Amino acid sequence: MGAAGESPLLWLYNTAQLMHSSDSTAKIFDKLHIAMMVFGVFSIVALYAFGFYRALTCPYSLNYEGVPLWASWALAHGLNIYDPARLSAEPWSVNIYPPLMPIIGQLASAKVAGCLIFLRALSAVCAVGTAILLWLLWKRSAVDRVAAAAALVFVFSPLPVWFNSFMCKPDFLCIFFIIATLLVFWLKYERDELSTKALLPCVALSVLALLGKQQGVLAPATICVFLLVRGKTAAAVRFGCIIVAAFALTGIVFQLITGGVPQIYAFLKQLHWDYNNVGLNVSTLAADGIKLGLISAGAILYIVRKQVAMPQFQFACIFLVLSVLQCLSSLGIPAATSNHFILPFIGFAMVAALVGTRWTWFAAALAVVSVILVIDLALFLDKQVSTVRTEAAGVLQQLPHQGKLLSEDPYWVFATGTELVMVDCNIFQSVWRQRPQLQQPFIDRLKSKAYAAVMINHRDSRQGGNYIWTPEALAAIKENYRLAGSGTGNGISQDIYLPK
């Protein structure tokens, strides 16, 4: 499929040139398969180029990006972003994620818009880096380049993957280190270098992945299970012990610095797993379900037609199973969204790359099916960015520029110079539904009109609550504040309330 040192882009160009070749030995179906794959790759590249451009030139929130933004600002100003006292008193502002993204983000926190763009750029770089690492991993796993390209088209075509690739969120920062861990391990495994010293780079990368987001545990878990399946019990136990020790040491240092991590996670344990939230998120997959079905059917055929003793296939399947289990365990949390699907999509792509290597027609079909919604995604983002830009000036005119602002989107707090009240409304409201007594100080603040303005999503405002805000909080808002206008925040419609 090309020279060993040939880059993916150069190979893609040479492949496209083959379509114009007059070589009579090239089969028409081979050319058709290549054409379908080239179409898929260029469609995805164009989609991501457009997405990066639109996101990196929009200085306003396009989604729930407030927590990393606030945490970066807070670290730069010497605040403890894990202060447990803020779980029960105003301002209700804590960071529920590990600190790696805010640590990086504080470098650009002088201006809030600049920090937002900087963190989006970080996600974009990590998304591109993830694609490169997957390509290298598959290259080392004897995956055909057409199949690898088709698998990349698949994994980067779903809305959750694309949209989060340029969001101010820690997902792709964590995923980059997860895939880096798997790649380094696979190189060691191929050379049968499984000593403690040889696996230390995997341990370091696993710690970085965990510091990016809690899902970082998936990489070492995959490695341990794979080693056990391959009969490398001693190596699995040794690696597992080192990982546990490294994670424990990281946690101890983390606690000594912040003094609040156990309390925060104890608070989050009050978020009860909800089957309805899983169903709601799964329903958003839409056409992506067709792609998952195609890969599942291909994997079954692959298993039937071939004895599945290949370590590459076992490694991919273990990662897929663990990523799906991890996704389901977290997707039921009320605040969880479709970004939890990214790792399972990567797991499916690992399997698809191996199946596509066996059957070129499968890879070609996957590439084409994966880009069906590309135009719709581009139009969706273009409309959203245009709406946010159009409404931003109006929001700034309607909001006060002093006092406390209760807003789902912390960006407007920074933009107006008002005081912060709450960072992650969704988390607190979800806990307060389970323990209403914790909400009472907040209700009292609303009744005393302690806030200069309140900005909540249109859905709760017009339908009585229970989307983000509890009915009790919404009732207190409407009793003491009047609807003064509308705007946008977190990329969705918002209503603005001022004191009566």
Whether the per-residue pLDDT at 45 is higher than 80: the answer is: yes
> With contact defined as beta carbons under 8 Å apart, do 172 and 160 qualify?
no
The pLDDT tens digits for 463-484 are 888 888 999 999 999 999 999 9
Pair of tokens at residue 366: 């996957």
Whether the per-residue pLDDT at 2 is higher than 70: the answer is: no
For residue 59, say if its preceding peptide bond is cis, omega within 30 degrees of 0.
no
> With contact defined as beta carbons under 8 Å apart, do 164 and 215 qualify?
no
pTM: 0.90
State whether the Cα torsion 305-306-308-312 is positive or negative: negative
DSSP string, 399-446: S-SSSEEEES-THHHHHHT-EE-BS-HHHHHHHHHH-GGGGHHHHHHH
- What pLDDT does 4 receive? 47
- What pLDDT does 341 receive? 92
Question: Which residue type is seen at 164?
Answer: N
Q: Report the pLDDT averaged over residues 23-44.
A: 70
Q: How confident is the model at residue 456 (pLDDT cuts 50, 70, 90)?
A: very high
Whether the per-residue pLDDT at 31 is higher than 80: the answer is: no
Q: Is 92 helix (H, G, I), strand (E, B) or coil?
A: strand
- What pLDDT does 133 receive? 97
Domain ranges of the chain: 8-377, 399-499
- What pLDDT does 336 receive? 79
Q: CA gyration radius for the chain?
A: 24
Nearest Cα to 66, choosing from 423, 425, 469?
Answer: 423
- What pLDDT does 195 receive? 92
Query: Which residue in this structure is represented by tokens 């206008």?
Result: 485
The pLDDT tens digits for 154-207 are 999 988 999 999 999 999 999 999 999 999 999 999 999 999 999 999 999 999
State whether the Cα torsion 20-25-26-28 is positive or negative: positive
Q: pLDDT > 70: what percent of the chain?
A: 92
> With contact defined as beta carbons under 8 Å apart, do 105 and 126 qualify?
no
DSSP string, 326-341: HHHHHHTSTT--GGGG
Alpha helices in 230-359 (DSSP H): 233-258, 261-268, 275-283, 288-305, 311-331, 342-358
Question: Which residue type is seen at 194?
Answer: L
- What pLDDT does 26 receive? 47
d(CA 167, CA 333): 21
Total residue length of the chain: 500
Q: Report the pLDDT averaged over residues 423-444.
A: 90
Q: What is the DSSP letter of 488?
A: E
Nearest Cα to 355, choosing from 315, 304, 295, 307?
Answer: 295
CB under 8 Å to 13, separation ≥6 — which residues?
none
Nearest Cα to 223, choosing from 235, 209, 214, 215?
Answer: 235
The pLDDT tens digits for 110-150 are 788 789 999 999 999 999 999 999 999 999 988 888 889 98
End-to-end Cα spacing for the chain: 71
Whether the per-residue pLDDT at 9 is higher than 70: the answer is: no
Pair of tokens at residue 377: 């995604």
Paired sense of beta strands 404-407 and 453-457, if any: parallel
The pLDDT tens digits for 363-412 are 888 888 888 767 788 888 999 899 999 888 889 999 999 999 999 999 99
- What pLDDT does 6 receive? 56
d(CA 271, CA 258): 22
* Angle 456-330-115 from CA coordinates, rounded to 5°: 50
CB under 8 Å to 304, separation ≥6 — which residues?
none
Pair of tokens at residue 171: 């997902």
The pLDDT tens digits for 438-451 are 999 999 999 999 99
DSSP string, 372-386: TTHHHHHHHHHHHHH
The pLDDT tens digits for 205-241 are 999 999 999 999 999 999 999 999 999 999 999 999 9
The pLDDT tens digits for 262-319 are 888 888 888 877 777 788 778 777 778 888 888 888 888 888 776 666 899 999 999 9
CB under 8 Å to 266, separation ≥6 — which residues?
none
